[in-house]
Structure 1
Amino acid sequence: MKCLLMRISGASVFLILSQFVFAAQAMLDPVDFLALQSIRKRLTDMPGSNYFASWDFTSDPCNFAGVYCDGDRVVALNLGDPRAGSPGLSGRLDPAFGKLSALAELTIVPGRIMGSLPHTFSQLKYLRFLAISRNFISGDIPASFGQLRGLRTLDLSFNQLTGSIPSAVGNLPALSNVILCHNRLSGSVPPFVSQTLTRLDLKHNDLSGWLSPHGLPSSLEYLSLSWNRLTGPVDKPLSHLNRLNYIDLSLNRFTGCIPGIIFTFPITSLQLQRNQFSGPVQPENLVAIPAVDLSYNQLSGEISPMFSTVQKLYLNNNRFTGQVPASFVDRVLSAGIELLYLQHNYLTGIEINPTVEIPLSTSLCLQYNCMVLPVQTPCPLRAGRQKTRPTSQCIQWKG
């Protein structure tokens, strides 16, 4: 009799558990439930992480860490512990992501996720936000991403992506942020058509070719293309971007003049160093830009007095000639300029009293020009030890 009761009790427990599991699955669309199971099987916690501790599929997946539902559908996945510096996830991305047809947001914290981007992402017609950065994602960006017509943010930075940026991605109409920096992408920068695009960050890749004259929308506020192999002039691509507040085109091979109109934009940092820009620089109406770096180019002519309003100004290693404008002296002595690097040019003089004391808060470097230095000031080590340019070079160079 006792054994019979135990058998009945055991059967009852099994029945109750079965009903419980069925009820838990019923809370979420079955397709989404199975997709989450597949995603979970391909990903694991890195040592020190317990992100998946709550992913117990005998309970409601809508209560899992990082899973957000609307009704019986998953609408957002934030995979991994979002705390800064916490261990991330490892493994690979399962194609089952494409089964979460109501998904609008997908983020994955930094970790050691490898492999390629699933082409099934293109099935997520409601996806607005995709951020998988600082992992080891390789392969190309699928051209099928061009089907994500509602995508607003695409952040695949700090991975190992190769291949070109698909033109279909540039044609996405709703983009506001494109962050693909620190990868191994090659080819040209495709034209971007979205009139809501405010941030474009493609630095530290292997991009080449010219910028399309009308390939950057006027809505841009942040533009970083540094550390690539881009060439050609920038006057037409930049001239209409009058909302820019940050420009970094450094360490490329851009040529031609620097358009004077960009100095009228509301820029907080302008970095054009280490290119092949040439000719004079004539700001049309310089606004107060905190930092301007035009160093290591082939710029020539006299230095515009308008630059005296800049707090940190790098004009070194160019071909500037003539006198340093008097307005610079006034700003240096009043500590209005924090940093003024004019070394390695062909400047012929600066009207400053040799006995004057340069404010300690100001860094001024004048060495290796065509002048006897009126004041001795500390210069960066890379400026070298020679104080004055050889006379033979100053005679040959006409500016």
Structure 2
Amino acid sequence: MEVMMNTRKHLVSSVIFVLGLFYFPLIAFSILDPLDFLALQSVRRSLDDLPGSNFFSSWDFTSDPCNFAGVYCEADKVIALNLGDPRAGSPGLSGRIDHAIGNLSALAELTIVPGRVMGYLPQTLSQLKNLRFLAISKNFISGEIPTSLAELRSLQTLDLSYNQLSGSIPPSIGTIPSLSNVIMCHNHLTGSIPSFTSETLSRLDLKHNNFAGALSSSSLPPSLQYLSLSFNSLSGPVDRLLPRLNRLNYLDLSMNRFTGSIPGVLFTFPITNLQLQRNFFAGRVTPLDQVTISTVDLSYNRFSGQISPLLSTVQNLYMNNNRFTGEVPGSFVDRLLAAGIEVLYLQHNYLTGIEINPAAEIPSSSSLCLQYNCMVPPVQTTCPLKAGLQKTRPTTQCAQWKG
């Protein structure tokens, strides 16, 4: 009888132990929605740490996933997923983005740190109706931007920069009403730049792509503060568009094919850096008032006429390789000798003179270049190598540009 009782106790203990193996993990997982739990498992299977990274070391699915690195929960749902070690210089992750990520229905933030994540953006991202922040930068994401991303009507930040994306930006992306930051620089995107209707868009960075075509006068909202479109093949005038963007504090349209004049009101904007170089802008440069922008680059265009003395307050001024004529205003000399100007590049124009004493000492902190104009430079200064060796422009060329 005693043997039977001991055997029964042993059997009961064994059953309790076996049930415990299944039961206690269920207790650990019970705080997280099962669909979110399965989605995290799929994400983990599709991504790996690069050598030197241990981001996934805490992803032990026998414990609470809400305690995993980069996983943030509210109630029983994942609301933020930050994949990879965010510290600068960390190795990042490899692999692909699993389509199951679209099952994280409460997700409001998704980031993947720089690494070697490749493949396409999954169409299922459009299921994340609460997503406000999407940043997958400096990886190897390829293919086209899914049109379905436009269904993310709560999206505020879209950062897909430094990848290998191709094709065009779907026009419907520009209709997302809450967009504040669109950063898609350094990809292989083509086509025209769509119109953006968001009244909160403050940053648009599309530099280093293959965009072409013209910008319409209403394609960008007045809310913009940062605009970079450099290193594309954009063309046409911008004189009707720019006056609307009077909140800009940074503007870079360099390395394109823009034409026409630039409005004088542009120089009154709260801009700290104005980059218009290497286009086909033409006409006179006529600021409305003394310019307070610290850096202005108008080089390698077709600007003409006399140089406005209102530009003498610019700290770094690049006006080289244009068609400017006449004498350099005396206010530039005064500012230069007082160390108020750090860079004044006027080479490769048709300027006829500058009133400066040949014995004047230009501060060592200042750089002045005057060569290849319609005058002999009165002072010898160090010019950039690309200015060439010729000091003066041939007189036959100067005769054509008197005035």
TM category, shorter: over 0.9
Read off the aligned partner of 1:300 and give its amino acid letter.
Answer: S
Q: Is 1:213 aligned to residue 220 of structure 2?
A: no
Q: 2:322 aligns with which of 315, 318, 325?
A: 318
Pick one of 139, 150, 156 that aligns with 1:135.
Answer: 139
Indicate how the Cα distance of structure 1 residues 65 and 142 shifts in structure 2: closer, same or farther if over 3 A, else same: same
Percent identity over paired residues: 70
Q: Structure 2 vs 1, CA of residues 161 and 336 (structure 1 numbering), >3 Å: closer, same or farther?
A: same
Asked if 1:377 corresponds to 2:381, the answer is yes
State which of 55, 58, 62 in structure 2 corresponds to 1:58.
62
Shift of 1:11: 4.2
The 8 Å contact of residues 326 and 402 in structure 2, kept in 1 or not, is answered as no
- Letter of the structure 1 residue corresponding to residue 362 of structure 2: I
Aligned to 2:165: 161
**Pairing of 1:173-252 with structure 2 (within 5 A):** 173-252=177-256
Report the alpha carbon displacement of residue 391 of structure 1 after superposing the two structures with TM: 1.0
Query: Over residues 135-167 of structure 1, what are the superposed CA-to-partner deviations in whole Å (9 max), with x where a residue is unaligned?
Result: 000001111111111100000000000000111
Shift of 1:208: 0.4
| AA aligned opposite 1:156 | L
Pair 1:170-2:170 in alignment: no
Residue pair 1:101, 1:123 contacting (<8 A) in 2 also: yes
TM-score by length of structure 2 reads 0.97
Question: How many residues were matched structurally?
Answer: 399
- Structure 1 distance, partners of 2:400, 2:312, is 29
Given the two structures, how large is their TM-score scaled by the length of structure 1?
0.98
CA deviation after TM superposition for structure 1 residue 396, in Å: 2.4
The structure-2 alpha-carbon separation of the partners of 1:339 and 1:6, relative to structure 1 and needing over 3 Å to count, comes to farther
Q: 2:115, 2:21 → 1: CA distance? A: 36
Structure 1 residue ranges without an equivalent (≥5): none
**1:285 equivalenced with 2:293 (yes/no):** no
State the alpha-carbon separation in 2 of the partners of residues 213 and 336 from structure 1. 36
Judge conservation of contact 1:257–1:279 (CA < 8 Å) in 2: yes
**1:309 and 2:320 equivalent?**
no
Structure 1 residue 236: Cα displacement:
1.2
Inter-partner Cα distance in structure 2 for 1:107 and 1:58: 25
> 1:12 — aligned with what?
16
Q: Aligned AA for 2:145?
A: I
Flag the 1:39–1:354 CA change in 2: closer, same or farther, 3 A. same
**1:298 corresponds to:** 302
What SS class does the counterpart of residue 300 from structure 1 fall into? strand
Which range is displaced more, 22-31 or 378-387?
22-31
Q: Secondary structure at the match of 1:21?
A: helix
SS in 2 for 1:217: coil
Assess if the C-alpha contact under 8 Å between 1:20 and 1:58 holds in 2.
Answer: no
1:82 alignment partner, SS class? coil
Q: 2: CA distance between counterparts of 1:62 and 1:97?
A: 16
Offset at 1:390?
0.9
Please name the residue that 2:370 is paired with: 366
What letter corresponds to residue 187 of structure 2 in structure 1?
Answer: N
Say if 2:15 is the partner of 1:46: no
State the AA in 1 paired with 2:400: Q
Match of 2:111 in 1: 107
Give how far 1:5 is off. Answer: 7.7
Match of 2:99 in 1: 95
* Partner Cα separation in structure 2 for residue 10 and residue 67 of structure 1: 36
Residues 378 and 4 of structure 1, relative CA distance in 2, 3 Å threshold: farther
Amino acid at match of 1:29: D
Q: Is this contact kept in 1: 2:291–2:311, CA < 8 A?
A: no
Q: Distance in 1 between matches of 2:203 and 2:290?
A: 23
